[in-house]
Amino acid sequence: MIEVYTDAATKGNPGPSGIGIYLKQDSHQIEESHYIGEYTNHEAEFIAVLQALQLCQQQFPGEIISCRTDSKVVVETMEKNHTKNKFFLPYLEQINEISASFPYVFFKWISDKQNKHADMLARAGLAKRT
């Protein structure tokens, strides 16, 4: 099983945004931070999950994926497999499409305290804005 931790950092809402991705499988770890442009905080959170799953497709095809995020909006949207927000719908559809390539993907809400590593990476991604 791959533990996937994601977070986003946005300055303003919408505003410049960075994402952090932290993947763990036993002692194997991957860290990524990216500046992604101007988004709302919620959109940036969805983008973080989407890019994390794309990374998992490349690095860990066929594995079970446990996505952990401090974004309740992302977790609730994915658990219900539904959103009324037209801006979130494309992210839901893309995440579902990528998730279908794995035997099982589940989403779990975690507290900010449990997501410090991904938060640090997201802030580093935001700092890459130049």
What CATH number did the domain enclosing 97 receive?
3.30.420.10
User: Residue 130 has what pLDDT?
Assistant: 66
Q: What is the rounded average pLDDT of the residues 101-129?
A: 96
* Cα–Cα distance measured from residue 32 to residue 124, given in angstroms and rounded to the nearest whole number: 9
pLDDT grade for 129, boundaries at 50, 70 and 90:
confident
Range of the domain at 6: 2-127
Give the end-to-end CA distance of the chain in Å, rounded to a whole number: 36
Please state the rounded mean pLDDT for residues 95-121: 97
Q: How many domains does the chain have?
A: 1
What backbone phi and psi angles, to 5 degrees, belong to 22? -130, 115
CA 104-5-109 angle, to 5 degrees, is 75
- What does the alpha-carbon distance between residue 75 and residue 60 come to, in Å, rounded to a whole number? 22
Mean pLDDT over 41-61 rounds to 96
Residue 22 has pLDDT above 80, yes or no: yes
Average pLDDT for 14-27: 95
